[in-house]
Amino acid sequence: MNNKEIRTLILEKTKEYYQLKFASEKYSEGDRIPFARRVFDENELVNLVDSSLDFWLTAGRYAEDFEYEFAQFMDVDHCLLVNSGSSANLVAFTTLTSPKLGERRLKKGDEVITVAAGFPTTINPIIQNGLVPVFVDVELSTYNIKVEDLEKALSDKTKAIMIAHTLGNPFDLGAIMEFANKHDLFVVEDCCDAVGSTYNGKKVGTFGHLATVSFYPAHHMTMGEGGAVLTSDDELMKIATSFRDWGRDCYCGPGSDNTCGRRFSMQYGKLPVGYDHKYVYSHIGYNLKVTDMQAAIGMAQLEKLPSFIEKRKENFNKIKKELEKYEDYFILPEATKNSDPSWFGFPITVKENDKFSRNELTLYLEKNMIMTRLLFAGNVTKQPAYLDIECRIIGDLKNTDYIMNNTFFIGVYPGINDEQIAYIAKAFESFFKELA
């Protein structure tokens, strides 16, 4: 057998392995219902093995294809793959500090409007780059920024806004972009929980200067680890690529040389004329690339992404219908006006009452094999790592604190089926019967 024949045989055997190892997994009542989990079939395994047989150990043909296809899906011009959603946030925000942006660049001491109710890595790049986060409260039903407080957060140091679409629910992009345009602010959209969400019929990630997504197994599609920076700005794309790739000025892909055609003819900084462009560094950067094996999995997942998004919406609506009878005790989630969320989870806020607390409910659900998660950091300013950071807080963050004490979410991921939703509904019914 030649190489091609052996490769074909290996891929056929990979399909057989999937059928034996994974295809028979089925839910039985009483099995644990995750809040999130990867959903895949034989195609992900085939792509993964196919890529491994190339033994191309960094980004390659699959990464190139994915970046093009995902940019098309997200309606942006550019997609830059990185090794996680957190790295995507770091690269996207750090891009705005580049000297190549001239007077527009973000500098240490500048302020960035954000929220404390969310995941830390939306905030971390602000702090890591020496800027000052300005924390604004959120709404309880949408869990997104209170746009009426934006003017209170503004100062002569305000230069950017960086916030996430919480659990897939778009923040008020109309108000945010109007405010940003009025005051000439950069906007970074953290879409790590919101792939496929739309606002006024337009995909999130297309409004701001930069956007980010995550491909962690819990998210809308997965590469295992992985993430991406999105933009339609050519200059920001080049800068982001530099920060991802060690800070180098050259934008050649792995294994490529002299893409610019001026590899040995230019002068940079105080380097000698003709210094190899592949070793010129215009930023203090990182190495945050993916492997082609990750991108290979992503290509198979991308084909499923539209169906994943629809299934999340369906599961969200079915769970909401089951829980509406408990609205005396719960604040149930509401989509932001003019939006169609691709939900990451189903958030529930327990109203103040004398019968039960959030913790009592989540412990009951966990005991009954329904996984729960809190709304990430709750109030990040009260987390150990953030107690002494330089920041400004607008108002008392009353709703953020309420979320910290009373909010949790359960899963809506595509692997949850009607049988599992019926079990979730039954568990809530049993909990309230025990209270009576």
- What is the pairing mode between strands 132-136 and 392-393? parallel
Q: How far is CA 23 from the centre of its chain?
A: 28
User: Do 246 and 287 touch, CB atoms closer than 8 A?
Assistant: yes
Q: How far apart are CA 105 and CA 435, in angstroms?
A: 57
Residue 217, CA distances (Å) to 220, 223, 228 in order: 8, 7, 14
Q: Residue 199 has what DSSP assignment?
A: E
**Among this protein's residues, is 219 annotated catalytic?**
yes
Which residue is catalytic, options 78, 165, 209, 219? 219
Residue whose entry in the numeric block shows the structure tokens 């997504």: 213
User: Do 187 and 207 touch, CB atoms closer than 8 A?
Assistant: yes
CA angle 345, 203, 96 (to 5 degrees): 95
Q: Residue 273 has what DSSP assignment?
A: T
Q: Which residues pair with 350 in a beta bridge?
A: 330
Q: Which two tokens stand for residue 326?
A: 């408990």
Contacts of 117 (CB under 8 A, 6+ apart): 137, 138, 143, 166, 375, 376, 377, 378, 379, 380, 397, 399, 400, 403, 404
Which amino acid type is present at position 305? L
Contacts of 144 (CB under 8 A, 6+ apart): 115, 138, 163, 165, 166, 169, 170, 171, 172, 336
Q: How far apart are CA 267 and CA 364, in angstroms?
A: 66
CA angle 429, 167, 427 (to 5 degrees): 10
- With CA atoms as reference, report the closest residue to 401 among 422, 421, 423, 377: 377
User: Do 14 and 390 touch, CB atoms closer than 8 A?
Assistant: no
> Which residues carry out catalysis?
219
